[in-house]
Amino acid sequence: MRLQGRKIAILISDGYHDHEFWFPYYRFLEEGADVMVAGPHVRTVHGEGRHGKDGLPAEVTHTVEQAAAWGPEVVYLPGGIFAPLELRAHQPTLELVGEAVEDGRIVAAICHAQWILVSAGVVGGRRITCPRDMSDDVTNAGGVFVDEPCVRDGNIITAVYFGHLPEQFRVLMPAILEASA
């Protein structure tokens, strides 16, 4: 229970990547964290699924505005395609992510959730990994694209895709503990 009492917000919407939400969600709970699932609206959302099938449902229990007021120590951004597209156009999400980075809180993103980092204006001068199909987005926003499975640049931790979740968590967990010490 290394994360006992740590406040972690996971931001999702419809079209989140199933693995990239559920793996972190249960890892954080397993370690004793207080986890808030937030999004633009309180509702049931669905993962993107595969092969034309609906993904798993998840409950968004709080709005992003409520998450911001709660003051999470960590903001985790799962990927997918449609969820990051919605979240990157949602001003309260961009404000929460921007303020978290500015305050030195841990912000972790995986796969296409790096679009949210780009739109929040926090990648400038930072080393960021992401899927190659969005590396131009990172470099055009002033970031430094690094073609590695997981990259930590200060309080921002990025990974390429769900297959790199174990590697991301080997970097993320010590970073959370270090930030909380």
Provide the pLDDT for residue 55.
83
Provide the pLDDT for residue 106.
99
CATH superfamily of 7-180: Class I glutamine amidotransferase (GATase) domain (3.40.50.880)
Compute the distance between CA of residue 153 and CA of residue 43 in angstroms, rounded to an integer. Answer: 33
Residue reference for tokens 């693995």: 19
Q: What is the mean pLDDT of each run of 10 residues along the chain (181 residues)?
A: 96 96 98 98 89 79 99 98 97 99 99 98 99 98 98 99 97 94 65
Provide the pLDDT for residue 50.
64
Catalytic residue numbers read 112
Q: pLDDT of 158-169, one tens digit each?
A: 999 999 999 999
Provide the pLDDT for residue 17.
95
- Residues 164/142, Cβ–Cβ less than 8 Å: no
Provide the pLDDT for residue 155.
98
- Residues 30/6, Cβ–Cβ less than 8 Å: no
Q: What is the DSSP string of 55-94?
A: --EEEE-EEHHHHHHH--SEEEE--BSHHHHHHHT-HHHH
Q: pLDDT of 41-70, one tens digit each?
A: 999 999 987 655 678 899 999 999 999 999
Handedness of CA 11, 96, 118, 165 (dihedral sign): negative
